[in-house]
A and B are shown apart, each in its own frame.
Chain A
């Protein structure tokens, strides 16, 4: 599976994502410069974390107007895989590929630490390698990751099973204490209705190698790769 990692001015997890798909998964990877309009034939677009345009105004607000983003929307509408991590998730909500918004953490502080997540769905292209309700550890690193949407949207997300990851405690219980940033319904990651666009605040690329002490995140990337291989052989 060929991955394309988008580089916006101010992206800073682009090289990390690239490293994981290239070196850890051994998949072909390309950097996609925000100012161009060419997706270079990739199968999955990764919108990496960071501070695109310095997070000025609102996170992701300016980045969504990059020329490349028009192509990404087209690509998504045609069913292409799009993975938005952290700032990438924020951009996806700003551009409307995913509903809701990510607002300031109630602590008003940037928060960088591990969180437990419960995998709510394993029938998406991004989560096929997890087990049902698997509890994984994935770090967060953001100042504005509190998921918000109006009640109708939240209800729709719940009813349609669009919530893919929820913050939980070590035992898997979804509690207010386990919610690091006041996200509604402990939402850590959601998927669009079609199931090809995923946004999440935690950073799977930061826990994909033994040397970093945790490989839970690798399963997400592997899900994509395996899913495609499965698809091809069928």
Chain B
């Protein structure tokens, strides 16, 4: 073996020494390769594990928290929802179509591995400036097509998501995909290789040389040299995955499955040793039996291949034939390559020769954990101390609102979701663009599910703790606006290089903020994904801890969307307008400033606003609901108008600058409308809960009129709609 090979594989000298201590000898190349991928940040969470312990993970409806392939929550009637989010950032930077497509494929496998039928996808995306950067347009175009290509083909609707454009993502886009599945609780499968003697089977696609060392690749910064590592990108085959999905679900129904796990990052290595470690067993495999796509593959290549659309199944002894028959029906291979052993070792053979022998737990548990140094970055005090009071005041409020609506981050994402089949499965009650969260019915019940992803990374950049809190609060608020009770969280933490103290500080603070908000709002974390090293040429992306959240509606007929619906409905704002512009999109777009403090968040007010809105919706008193987020109150009103094709007349009496009042992003605000005849009931209820609120005006006409003291917004809905819906298509077709 080449001297210092471990360094090329991303292991430190100490880690190498530790491996020698564990094995009580030098590892061979296969063993070293296995350690290097399993001990990479991507698989081991060695830099983040200690911090992630802060997340609350317990709650009454949590059936499975972190540790399995996906989280599981109880939604009553013996049913469960399985969900998880994952990133595929680096592959997407290099080959946007295939990178994004295989990202979708990977997260879908995590869901059906648990025994659930995937019913929805959401995508949380970040790119550089769409108007200024050709590269960003190229990446955006390819990523969206890749998500569409995979999701549409396999037949899982992409029902929601979010997209932000910011220069920090120019060379390192973020592609996070969440998948949600539904199952009967009795069908829950786990990823444990239990039962000594049980056969271990490789099922699905054949193994090729693709993606070797993908996990290590994900744990480094992007550089020119990444180009050389290009084989780390794979081509996805959604058709194969569809067959695999149907075969696996059919197999689970038979009861012959003991454990099952998909082969994602680090392929056969991670799936086998994780399954053994979970069960406290060992696995012996003959690599010569693994079906291959290419000739002459070495044990090293077979163990580290990241070929897609493969699973590892531990079946009941004696049921191999039955398992094979099911895969055969779907035109897939299922080959027994080994068995579960009692000795706790991963024993890999090629025919009769042992090529690797490592204690399974050494790969999964013994990886050294680090607590990198954390230090508050210098930019923070500069940004916070920026004096915003010197900014010139708005001259033309209407023009400014139009400009905001045409900003790609705010503008309609129709150009994107038109490419997604968001209806297949016929469960989509509120698809993309219709409501603050996607709403799906649960067939044969009255129930509905609400799904969202959220993260405003500018807030996190300016105040990681508060930004983390807001990401959680906004996700919950979005669910509430559709009439759902928020239940649980999955998160995807996208940060720069954790070896830099400033980055690690952002990470720690953001997780602490998210943890507090999750605790307060009663939405535990069931799992997630950490993606570090999102940097190019030493510049990190904005810290982006994406929150994926699932909520439950007991009565799908009460599902609420954001569209203004009836003339004369009364518009009410729950929450408070504050004079705060810090961290707002307005500052960034209109003044080119990323400064100030992120908006304040009072979690008890947040809870009160949310519970009030939810209770009004459940009582059937609300005709539309929408939270105020990027672009503030003015943009929220405009969005309700555009969605409903109806105008509104609004009077704002707050004693505040027009810019703050219209475009400030104060948290904990929800716009609702209620029919005129019910307004007294609503106001009485509001008075009872003591929630701060304001009656703003009413729905009607073909214009949005907002009147303040000394200023006015007056825009035809049709004009706003044209800007809002056309902006992204216009940039992409130019």
Which residues of A does B touch, CB under 8 Å? 9-10, 12-13, 15-16, 19-20, 23, 35, 49-51, 53-56, 109-113, 139, 141, 143, 203, 205-206, 209, 211-213
Contacts and interface: CB of A to CB of B under 8 A. Distances in A.
A205 B155 contact: no
A111 B426 contact: no
B328 to A, nearest CB: 11
Contacts of B148: 109-110
B109 interface: no
B441 A211 contact: yes
B424 A141 contact: yes
B331 A9 contact: yes
Nearest to A17: B426
Given A12-B154, A19-B443, A54 B422 contact: no
A55 B154 CA distance: 11
Interface in B396-427: 417-426
A9 B239 contact: yes
Contact of A19 (B155, B424, B426, B428): B426
A54 B235 CA distance: 14
B441 A109 contact: no
A216 B49 CA distance: 53
B237 A54 contact: yes
Nearest to A13: B424
7 contacts: A10-B153, A51-B155, A54-B240, A112-B422, A141-B421, A143-B152, A206-B426
Interface in B507-565: 556-557
B331 A141 contact: no
A211 B155 contact: no
Nearest to B237: A54
Contact of A112 (B419, B426, B556): B419
B426 A212 contact: yes
B423 A203 contact: yes
Nearest to B415: A109
Contacts of B422: 112
Given A51-B239, A53-B239, A211-B441, A9 B426 contact: no
A212 B419 contact: no
A16 B152 contact: no
Contacts of B152: 51, 110, 112, 141, 143
A112 B429 contact: no
B626 interface: no
Nearest to A52: B239
A228 B262 CA distance: 48
A110 B421 contact: yes
A205 B421 contact: no
B248 to A, nearest CB: 14
A56 B556 CA distance: 38
A16 B153 CA distance: 15
B423 A51 contact: no
A111 to B, nearest CB: 6
Contact of A211 (B331, B417, B421, B429): B429
Nearest to B154: A12
Contact of A111 (B154, B239, B419, B428): B419
B556 to A, nearest CB: 6
B418 A113 contact: yes
Contact of A56 (B239, B417, B419, B441): B239
A109 B147 CA distance: 12
A109 B242 CA distance: 21
Nearest to A55: B153
Contacts of B443: 19, 23
B429 A109 contact: no
Interface in B216-239: 237-239
Contacts of B441: 211
Contacts of A139: 423
Contact of A54 (B153, B418, B420): B153
Given A19-B426, A205-B426, A211-B556, A50 B419 contact: no
A110 B418 CA distance: 7
Most chain A beta-carbon neighbours within 10 Å: one of B152, B243, B425: B152
Given A9-B242, A9-B331, A211-B556, A50 B423 contact: no
A33 to B, nearest CB: 8
Contacts of B330: 9
Contacts of A113: 418
B625 interface: no
Nearest to A56: B239
A160 to B, nearest CB: 33
Contacts of A54: 153, 237-240, 242
A141 B423 contact: yes
Given A54-B153, A111-B418, A111-B419, A212 B429 contact: yes
A211 B448 CA distance: 11
Nearest to A213: B429
B145 interface: yes
Nearest to A114: B423
Interface in B111-152: 145, 148-149, 152
A55 B240 CA distance: 12
Contacts of B145: 109
